[in-house]
Amino acid sequence: MAPYNYNGNDNLIVEISVTAASGATSWRANDALGIGHAQLLWGSTASATGTPYGYGMHTKLRFNGGQVNVITPPRTGSTAAFLSVNDGQYAFKYNPAQLGTKGTISKLACQINADVATDTDFPDTKIVLGHASATALTTTYADNMVDATTVYNATHTIPGGKLIGDWTEFNLSSSFNYNGVDDLIVHVFSGVGAGTVSCKLVTGSLPSVIYSTDPASATGGASNYLMNLGLSISP
């Protein structure tokens, strides 16, 4: 495949044309991300026009030093937490196949679940990164990761004008060197926010988060939620 130089400012169009299918395998898409506008134009191969849909294709792109996005397919619905109107903490587990590369993590982002009319502050936001200590999560937070590193600890502001499905970015105060072999734990703490917007979560089939409504608790409950995550990872 020949490389393509993306400018980082405009929307990227990925056009796929196929002739005759030879099996029942399809490119996965879903309409549950809550983007709020059409992302797909579908039509026959020979047609000059198509029909817009709100579906998003499950596509992974590899940029040289660019952001790695982990957007997991919703299976049983979706919900939201973190940066919400409640205190809480969430320790998410991502596997190497989802992240795709090792390297230095210098920025983190999450996909928001609602429009933001004006600048909205969320105090006491803290993010801790670390390598997973085992393949399965335990309900004790400290037992789930090694080399825990606090990479963000500040009031986070989501600028007004952001729309549902946009990304809110966290410029980390410290970087984290991810080894590309172990699972990555993203442990997020949040205080009471000034608005109702949250980072979007999806639900899967495996326990992927330990959560608690008390940011000071040493333990939490296990669930299948996983946050739609963006990471800037450089070699």
pLDDT tens digits for range 208-218: 899 888 888 99
The residue with greater pLDDT, 169 or 98, is 169
Predicted TM-score (pTM) of the model is: 0.72
- In which residue ranges of the chain is CATH 2.60.120 found? 63-234
Report the pLDDT averaged over residues 26-35: 55
pLDDT of 46-75, one tens digit each? 788 888 766 666 666 666 655 666 665 544
**How far is residue 211's CA from residue 141's CA, in Å, rounded to a whole number?**
9
Terminal C-alpha separation, the chain: 21
pLDDT of 105-142, one tens digit each? 999 998 888 888 989 888 888 999 999 998 889 999 99
Per-residue pLDDT at 71: 63
Fold of 63-234: Jelly Rolls (2.60.120)
**How far is residue 151's CA from residue 127's CA, in Å, rounded to a whole number?**
6
